[in-house]
Structure 1
C-alpha cells in the first residue's frame, strides 16, 4: 500500500537463491503436484458418487411415471398414455441393459454407454458410472447398492410385460372390468415393491457418498496444512515481491488517468493523484487535507449509527455526486477498498471516474422517450404511466381526479390553408398556454396530432368545469396564426372522472375519447362529461376481466378450435365446415364466444385472437394431410379490426405463402357490417387472399340490407344469410321473403348462398325449396372439437348420414 513511513529491511536488496532453497522449492512443488493429483481423484470419485445418485433419481422418476401412465392406459385405453408409459419405462430398462453389459466378463463398453444414455445420464456421467462400476464394485456399500438394484430387474420386466398385455387386450376390443381391476391391483403392488427396492438402493448410494465426502474433508485438511507450510517457506520471497509491486503501484497511482484518492478512516485525504485534482477542480496540495464529506453532495455519505463513515457500504461500486471547487456537480463512478496492515494505520483507496457526460446523455434520452419533440409536453407513453399512478393513488387513498381529452376543432384547415409550419406553431403556442393556465399539481400532455390530455388533480366534475370554462374563455390568447381570415383556436373537450371504480387506464382513455367525440357531435367548441352508472362501470370491469382471461388462455394454449359442418344441397358428401373458437377455463369449463367476444371486440383485441386462431388452425391441418386431401372447404372468421390492419394481411399472406396447399381449402368469413364500414380495406383484404387461392364469404348477410350496391365492389364468393332471418322463417313471412331475396341476389351474382342457424327440419326443407346451396345449424350438425372432425375414419359413415338428412 501507499505510505510515507520507512520500511524495515535492506531496501531493494534481493536475497541470493541458495541451493537449499531450490531443493526445498522442488520438493514442495512435487508435493503440491501429488496433492493436486489426489484431490483430482477424490473429486472424480465424488462426481461419480453424485452421478450414481442422479442416475438413481432418473431411474425412480422413470419407473413412477411408467407406472402412472400404464395405470391411465389400463383405465382409458388412450394410446398416448401407453406411449408415455413405454417412453418412461425406457429409462430404467436402459440402466438395466447397461448394468448387464458392465457385469460381463468382457466389458461391452458401447452397450453400457448407450444403456446409460437411455437412462437420461449425461455422456460424461455415463463414462464415470462405467469406470466406477468396473473398478470400485468391490466396495461394501457399493456392492450392497448393486444388490438392491438387481432386485428391481424382475419388477421392471413385469411392467414391460403388463404393458404388452394391456395393449393386446385394448387392441382386441377392450378390457373387461374385472381384468382391468386385477391388473391395476397388480400394478400397485408391483409399484410398492419397486419403490422399496429403489429406496434401499438410494440409501446405499448415500452411504457411499458419505464415505467419499469424509475422504474429501481429510484430503482438504492435508491440503490446507501443506499450503500453510509452503506459505511459511516462501514468505521472505513474497515480501520482496510485495516491495517491488508497491513501487510499481506508487508509479501507477500518480500516473493514472482516473482519479485516485488515499484516505484515513476518518475520511481525510492523505494522498491524491493529479487526475483527481483536475477532475474536482482543486490544486493537488489543497485537495490533500480535505475530507470526503466536503467533496460529496449531501445524502451521498453513508454513516453508521455512531456518526462514523460506514466504509463497507460507502466503498461499494456506485455512481456518486461530487461537488467541484466551483460548486458545479460531478457524477463520479466510485469504488474502493480498505487496506489493513499490521502495525500500520488502516487506509482507504478510492477510484473515481467522471461519468457526468453519461448522465447527461441518459437524461436526454429519458426526456426524449417521455416527451413530445414538437411541444415539449409529455407524450402518450408518459401520460399513460402517470394515469396509472393516479389510478393506484385513488384506489389506495380515495379521492377523485379528472382527465380532460382536448381535440382542436378544424385544425386541418390550418395545416391545409396556412401550411404545416403554421400548424406546428399553433400547437406549440397552445401547449405553452395550457401549461400556464392550469393549477399547481395539474399537468398537460400531447396525445398526438392535435389531441392533448389535461390532468386536473383533486378535481371532480364541478371543479373541472370551472377550470375548463376559464381556459376556453381565453383560448384565443393561444392563437399563434397571424393574418386576416386566420381561424380562431377552438377545441372540443371530453372529461372523465378518475375514481376507484375505474377499471384500468385503457378504459379511462377510451371513455375520455368517447366524451370528446360526443362534444364534437354536439357542435364542437364545448365540454362533454362522461357519465356512467355504477352498474355500467361494473360491467366495464367484468369486460376487462374477461379480456384478461382471453389473454391468459391464449398464452396458456387454452383456446380450443371447434368445427360445425355445412352441408351442400347438391353434394352432401362434400366436406365443408366452419371453424369456431371456445375458451377452456382453468377449471376445465368451456366458454362460448358470446361470453368473451364482446370484450375482445370492444378493447381492440380481435386481431390478436384472429392471429392465434389462424396459427392453431394451420398447425392442426399441417399434421392431418389425409384430412386436408378430403377437405372441400374450411371457413374461418376474421374481425373488422383485422381486415383494416395491414400487419394482419401481411401475417395471413406469409401463412399462405408457406402453406400453399392449404390456401385453396380456406374461406375467410367477413361480417357484412365490417365490410360496409371499411369497404376499401375490406376490398384490399379480399383481393389479396383471393389472389392466393382462398375464397371469401360475407357473414351475417342481411343485417345491412339498407343497400346492396356495395356487393358489386366486393368480389366475395359466398353469402351467409344472417341466422336471425333463418331461425323463424317457417313462421315469419317477412323473414322468409328476406331469405328468398338474398338467395336470388346471390344467384344473380354467381355466389354460393349458405343459411346459418338452421334449427329445425321444417326450416331446412323450406331453404332447400328456395334453392339455398348450403345449410349450417343444429338441425344439420352440432359443433364438435376440430380433432374429432379431422378423424380419418369419421367421414365414411358421415357422408351417408348427410345424404339421409337431406332426403
Structure 2
C-alpha cells in the first residue's frame, strides 16, 4: 500500500506539473499572438522590414505549438517534431516531456478535452494571420498598399486579434479548470491516503497488541507449565521469575526461590565473572552443564542454556533453561566404573591396568625412576573350583583381592587380569625391593584364613616381577615379561617369587623388534608393502607360468627391505594375519587389472602364516575374496609351512578343505624341517610339497641331504603331490633334482625375485636365465 500511495502521489505531482506547464505554454502562446498582431498592424502602415521580422518572430510561438500538436495527432506520432515545435513555442525544456505525455494520453479526458477543442479553434485565425502577413509583404514588395487596402487589412487584423484573445481566455479558463480538478483530486486522494494509513495503523496496532498478548500468554503458560526448569534473571543475577519445575529440581518452594540469586544456587566457581566482578553473561550463558546446590546442600548437575533479552526502555533480562542431568552423570560414572573395574572383586580390570601401566611408563621415560610390576597367579585354584564349586572359587578370589589391597601402600594399586591372575604395581620400588615385599606376602598368605570350605587346598600364589624402567619397550612387553616370570615361578615349584632378568642386549633386540613392528604397521597403512614374484620352473614344461608371490617393504627413506628384516617381529608379535590380509588384497587387486596375464598364468603361490590359519575370521576373509573372484581361485596355490600345519592340524585341515572346495590348491612349504613330517602327510590333503631349502642348497656336496631330498621326492610322488625344490642355486643341483624326479625348481639359478608388475607385463619380463642341462628336456 505504501508503494501504491507513493506512486499515486508521484502521478498527481506529475499531473500538477503538467497543468502548470500547459498554463505557462498558453501564456506564451497568447503573448506571441498579441505581439504578432501589433507588429503586423505597424507593418501594414509602415512597410518597415523590422516590423515584418517582429511579426514573423512573434508568430513562431503559436505556430510552434500548432506544429507540435499536429505532430502528436498523427496516427504514428512524430515525437521529435513535437519536441521541436514545443521548443519553438517558448516552453521550458524540462516541461516538454510532460506536455508530450499529457497530450498523448490525456487529450481525450473530460477535464482536458474542452481545452484542446478551444485550442484547435484558434488554428484558422492563426493561419489567416499568417496569410495576411504574406499578402502585406507581397504588396509592399510590388509598390505599396493603397490607403483603402491598408484600412481593410487593419480591420481584419483587429478582428482576428479580438477573436483569438477571446479564444485564448477561454482556453486559459479551461486549463485553470483542469488545474483546479487536479488540485481537488490531489486533496481527495491525499485525504483518502491519510485515512487509509490511519486505519491500517490502527488495525496493525490492534493486531500486534493481540499477537503480543497471545504470545505472552503462551510464553507464560510454557514458562510455568514446562517440565524443565526455567529462570528469569535480572542483570545482577537475581531470580525474578522461576517455574515450578525449577523449584522442584532445587527442592525449594517457588516463593522462596524468588528471593535468591543465581550465585546462591550455583556451586562456588560455576559463576563466570568479568574483571569488574559482574556476571559475564556471554560466557555464562554458553550451553553446558553446571553444578547446582539443592535446598539441602546436595549437588545437582544441570544442563544449562540461556539468552539475554535487551530492550531500550528496560534493563536487560536473562532467560535460562535448566535440565536435571544428575542421573545421567550417575549412570556415566557407573558405566565408567564397570568399564574399568572387575565386577567380581571390584579391582581394576586389564584395560585399566594397561592404561595405568602406559601412564607410568610415560612418566618414567620423562622423569626417570623405577617401579615394579608383579604378575600373581593363585596356585591350585582350579582344585577349589572343581572341588567346592564356582561360588567358593568366587569367594576365594574376592577374599584374596581384599588381602592384596590391604597389603599395598598408598600409591600402589592392584588389579585383576582375569581368572585367578592378578597384577600388583609397586610404585618407586626396584626389582629387589619388590621381591622382599612379595616374599613377605607369600609367607604371610599361608597364615591368612580364607573361608572356602573344609578339605580345600592351602592358598598360595606364584609371583613374577619385572622392573618398569625407561628401557622397557612398551606395555605389552611388560605384561609378557611379568607373565614369563610368573610361569618360571610355577615351574620352579610354585608359592614363590621370580624376577624377570634379561640382558641389555636382549632388551635392545626387543626394542628393535618393536620398532620393526611399528614400521610394518605404518608401511601397511601407507601402502609401502611391495609384491615381488619368483618363478618356479616346471621340469619338462618351461613355458608353464608358475611363480611364488613374495613381500618386500620400502622404508620411508626409500630403502627396500627383504622379509628377513621384519618377518621375525611380525610372526613373534602376532601381526601375521594383518600382513597376510594386506598381501592378499594387493595380489587380488593387481591380478584383477591384468586379465591377459591371468589367462596365461598357470599357478601363483602365496604364503599364509600359522596365525592366519588358526583364526576363523581370516578364513572368512579368504573365502569372501575367492567367492568374489572365482576366476582367480583356480590360479592360486596357498602355501603353509609344515610346522604351522602340524601345530594346528585341525585348523589347517579346515583351511585346506575350505580353499580347495573353491578351486584353489595347497602347498606344504619348508617340508622336512618338522619332527614328524611323514606321519602327518596323510592327514593334510595338499597338492604340492616344497622341500626345505636347507636340504637342497648343498645336496651336491652332502650325501645325507641328497638322501633326504630323494626320500621326500619319493613320498610326494607316492601321494600324487607335485614336488618343488627351493633354494636351487646352481646348475649342478638343478641337474641332480631333475634326475631324482623333482618337478619344480625355485631359486636364484632359475630366476631371481622381480617386482610383480614386471612378471605380469610380458614387455617388462626379463629373459629367463635357464640352467644349462639336458635334463630339462626329459620327462620327470
Give the TM-score, by structure 1 length.
Answer: 0.68
Q: State the alpha-carbon separation in 2 of the partners of residues 569 and 417 from structure 1.
A: 65
Q: State the alpha-carbon separation in 1 of the partners of residues 295 and 3 from structure 2.
A: 55
Structure 1 residues 416 and 668: alpha-carbon distance in aligned structure 2, compared to 1, 3 A threshold: farther
Q: Which of residues 323, 333, 338 in structure 2 aligns to 1:368?
A: 338
Q: Which of residues 547, 556, 559 in structure 1 aligns to 2:517?
A: 547
Check if 1:665 corresponds to 2:643.
no
Range that drifts further, 456-465 or 290-299: 290-299
1:536 is matched with 506
Aligned pairs for 1:340-489 (under 5 A) are 340-476=310-446, 480=450, 482-489=452-459
Check if 1:572 corresponds to 2:550.
no
Kept in 2, the 8 Å contact 1:426–1:479? The answer is no
Structure 1 residues 349 and 740: alpha-carbon distance in aligned structure 2, compared to 1, 3 A threshold: same
1:581 is matched with 551
1:645 is matched with 615
Q: State the alpha-carbon separation in 2 of the partners of residues 804 and 549 from structure 1.
A: 46
Q: Which of residues 641, 649, 657 in structure 2 aligns to 1:687?
A: 657
1:263 is matched with 233
The SS at the match of 1:474 is: helix
Kept in 2, the 8 Å contact 1:721–1:756? The answer is yes
Kept in 2, the 8 Å contact 1:573–1:800? The answer is no
Q: State the alpha-carbon separation in 1 of the partners of residues 325 and 288 from structure 2.
A: 11
CA offsets 1:740-782 (integer angstroms, 9 cap, x no match) = 2322332333322211111111111222222222111000111
CA offsets 1:55-93 (integer angstroms, 9 cap, x no match) = xxxxxxxxxxxxxxxxxxxxxxxxxxxxxxxxxxxxxxx
Check if 1:24 corresponds to 2:2.
yes
Check if 1:720 corresponds to 2:698.
no
Question: How far has the Cα of 1:28 moved from its partner?
Answer: 9.3
Kept in 2, the 8 Å contact 1:572–1:802? The answer is no
Question: How far has the Cα of 1:319 moved from its partner?
Answer: 0.8
Kept in 1, the 8 Å contact 2:758–2:765? The answer is no
Structure 1 residues 594 and 438: alpha-carbon distance in aligned structure 2, compared to 1, 3 A threshold: same
1:763 is matched with 733
Q: Which of residues 286, 301, 304 in structure 2 aligns to 1:331?
A: 301
Question: How far has the Cα of 1:437 moved from its partner?
Answer: 2.0
Structure 1 residues 805 and 530: alpha-carbon distance in aligned structure 2, compared to 1, 3 A threshold: farther
Question: How far has the Cα of 1:455 moved from its partner?
Answer: 1.7
Q: State the alpha-carbon separation in 2 of the partners of residues 775 and 335 from structure 1.
A: 77
User: Please, which runs of 5 or more residues in structure 2 have no aligned partner?
Assistant: 9-200
Give the TM-score, by structure 2 length.
Answer: 0.70
Range that drifts further, 238-247 or 248-257: 238-247
Question: How far has the Cα of 1:567 moved from its partner?
Answer: 1.1
Kept in 2, the 8 Å contact 1:479–1:488? The answer is no
| Equivalent residues, number | 585
Q: State the alpha-carbon separation in 1 of the partners of residues 750 and 304 from structure 2.
A: 78
Question: How far has the Cα of 1:802 moved from its partner?
Answer: 9.5
Q: State the alpha-carbon separation in 2 of the partners of residues 357 and 25 from structure 1.
A: 59
Q: State the alpha-carbon separation in 2 of the partners of residues 507 and 581 from structure 1.
A: 27
1:492 is matched with 462
Question: How far has the Cα of 1:620 moved from its partner?
Answer: 1.7
The SS at the match of 2:346 is: coil
Question: How far has the Cα of 1:798 moved from its partner?
Answer: 5.6
Q: State the alpha-carbon separation in 2 of the partners of residues 530 and 641 from structure 1.
A: 27
Q: State the alpha-carbon separation in 2 of the partners of residues 592 and 772 from structure 1.
A: 28
Q: State the alpha-carbon separation in 1 of the partners of residues 712 and 599 from structure 2.
A: 32
Q: Which of residues 237, 261, 267 in structure 2 aligns to 1:297?
A: 267
Question: How far has the Cα of 1:290 moved from its partner?
Answer: 1.5
Aligned pairs for 1:29-48 (under 5 A) are none
CA offsets 1:594-622 (integer angstroms, 9 cap, x no match) = 11111111211000000111111122222
1:782 is matched with 752
Q: Which of residues 213, 220, 234 in structure 2 aligns to 1:250?
A: 220
Question: How far has the Cα of 1:794 moved from its partner?
Answer: 7.3
CA offsets 1:547-602 (integer angstroms, 9 cap, x no match) = 12211211122211111111122433222111100112233221111111111112
Question: How far has the Cα of 1:793 moved from its partner?
Answer: 5.6
Q: What stretches of structure 1 move > 4 A for 4+ residues in a row? A: 25-30, 233-244, 476-481, 792-805
Structure 1 residues 800 and 674: alpha-carbon distance in aligned structure 2, compared to 1, 3 A threshold: closer
Question: How far has the Cα of 1:689 moved from its partner?
Answer: 2.1
1:619 is matched with 589
Q: State the alpha-carbon separation in 1 of the partners of residues 383 and 619 from structure 2.
A: 33
Q: Which of residues 487, 491, 503 in structure 2 aligns to 1:517?
A: 487
The SS at the match of 1:670 is: strand
Q: State the alpha-carbon separation in 2 of the partners of residues 504 and 607 from structure 1.
A: 21
Kept in 2, the 8 Å contact 1:267–1:309? The answer is yes
Kept in 1, the 8 Å contact 2:547–2:605? The answer is yes
Kept in 2, the 8 Å contact 1:320–1:334? The answer is yes
Q: State the alpha-carbon separation in 1 of the partners of residues 413 and 602 from structure 2.
A: 60
Check if 1:747 corresponds to 2:747.
no
Range that drifts further, 548-557 or 796-805: 796-805
Q: Which of residues 501, 505, 521 in structure 1 aligns to 2:475?
A: 505
Q: CA RMSD in A?
A: 3.0
Q: Which of residues 279, 284, 290 in structure 2 aligns to 1:320?
A: 290
Q: State the alpha-carbon separation in 2 of the partners of residues 794 and 801 from structure 1.
A: 21
Question: How far has the Cα of 1:241 moved from its partner?
Answer: 5.2
Kept in 2, the 8 Å contact 1:726–1:763? The answer is yes
2:624 is matched with 654
The SS at the match of 2:566 is: helix
The SS at the match of 2:454 is: coil
Range that drifts further, 611-620 or 415-424: 415-424
The SS at the match of 2:424 is: strand
CA offsets 1:329-384 (integer angstroms, 9 cap, x no match) = 21111112233333433332222111112112222222222222232222222222
Kept in 1, the 8 Å contact 2:534–2:548? The answer is yes
Question: How far has the Cα of 1:647 moved from its partner?
Answer: 1.0
Q: State the alpha-carbon separation in 2 of the partners of residues 553 and 718 from structure 1.
A: 32
Structure 1 residues 320 and 454: alpha-carbon distance in aligned structure 2, compared to 1, 3 A threshold: same
Q: State the alpha-carbon separation in 2 of the partners of residues 766 and 391 from structure 1.
A: 58
CA offsets 1:682-729 (integer angstroms, 9 cap, x no match) = 222223222333222221122223563222322222221221221122
Q: State the alpha-carbon separation in 1 of the partners of residues 610 and 769 from structure 2.
A: 35
Question: How far has the Cα of 1:512 moved from its partner?
Answer: 2.1
